Every structure is written in structure tokens, then in C-alpha cells.
């Protein structure tokens, strides 16, 4: 979204084509950084994806409070060893401004250090 906005603001003749996040069979977003994870750290790394899926389910079940989704994700991630949350954000997918109450599709984005490896992931959440 940052690059898309920059292209728009600078009136560049560039077309941005977004694609879905490519995931490994267990759900972890594919990244060369995954090679730095030990076998023991892999379950901790999977908490990023598990948190996104849990938030999606909670929203479908009627939870509209962004802070409640963030707190649930925080509890899940920190319940695993070697995790340190950099950020968890729920925001408008167009302008990236934080959202308090979810009444339209939102972007949930997170960055978590697992050991010395910084992992990022995100997902569009909507109640449909």
C-alpha cells in the first residue's frame, strides 16, 4: 500500500499488481527468512498465521472491536517461546489508518521476532 500510494502521489506511470501471500503447507508465509528458523522455533513462527486466522474467525463470529482481536493475537503469540511482537495493527487497507471498530474489510498486519528472525504477515479480514 505504501508503494501504491507513492506511485499515485508522484503520478508515476507504473501499474502495481498485487498477488496473494504465498504460504508453505503449514500456513507460514514463504520467505527466505524462514531458513533462519530452527525446528524448535517453527511452532512459534506459525503463531503469526494462526493469529490472523483466529482474528478472521472472531470477526465472522461478530467481534467488531479491533483491540479485542489484537489482544487475542498478542496472547496467542506471546504464549510461545522466543516471540517478541514488534507490532500488530488493524487498519484501513487503503490508507493504513488504524481502525477501532470494524464495519468494513480491514487489514491485519503484524511483525514478530522469533528468536533473531523478524517475520511479517498480513491478511484482509471481513465479516463475510
**pTM value?**
0.90
- Cβ-proximal residues to 101 (8 Å cutoff; 6+ apart), any chain: 64, 65, 66
Residue 126 backbone phi and psi in degrees, to 5:
-145, 160
How confident is the chain (128 residues) per 10-residue block, as mean pLDDT? 87 91 95 96 98 97 97 98 98 93 96 98 90
Distance between alpha carbon 12 and the CA centroid of its chain, in Å? 28
Could you report the per-residue pLDDT of 8-34, keeping only the tens digit for each? Answer: 899 999 999 988 899 999 999 999 999
Could you report the per-residue pLDDT of 6-15, keeping only the tens digit for each? Answer: 898 999 999 9
Amino acid at each position: 500500500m505504501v508503494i501504491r500510494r507513492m506511485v499515485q502521489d508522484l503520478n508515476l506511470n507504473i501499474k502495481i499488481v498485487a498477488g496473494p501471500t504465498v504460504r508453505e503447507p503449514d500456513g507460514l508465509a514463504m520467505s527466505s527468512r524462514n531458513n533462519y528458523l530452527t525446528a524448535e522455533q517453527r511452532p512459534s513462527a506459525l503463531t503469526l498465521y494462526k493469529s490472523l486466522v483466529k482474528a478472521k474467525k472472531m470477526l465472522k463470529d461478530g467481534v467488531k472491536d479491533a483491540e479485542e482481536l489484537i489482544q487475542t493475537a498478542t496472547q496467542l503469540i506471546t504464549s510461545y517461546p522466543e516471540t517478541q511482537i514488534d507490532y500488530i495493527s488493524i487498519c484501513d487497507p487503503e490508507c493504513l489508518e488504524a481502525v477501532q471498530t470494524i464495519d468494513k474489510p480491514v487489514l491485519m498486519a503484524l511483525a514478530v521476532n522469533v528468536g533473531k528472525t523478524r517475520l511479517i504477515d498480513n491478511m484482509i479480514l471481513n465479516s463475510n
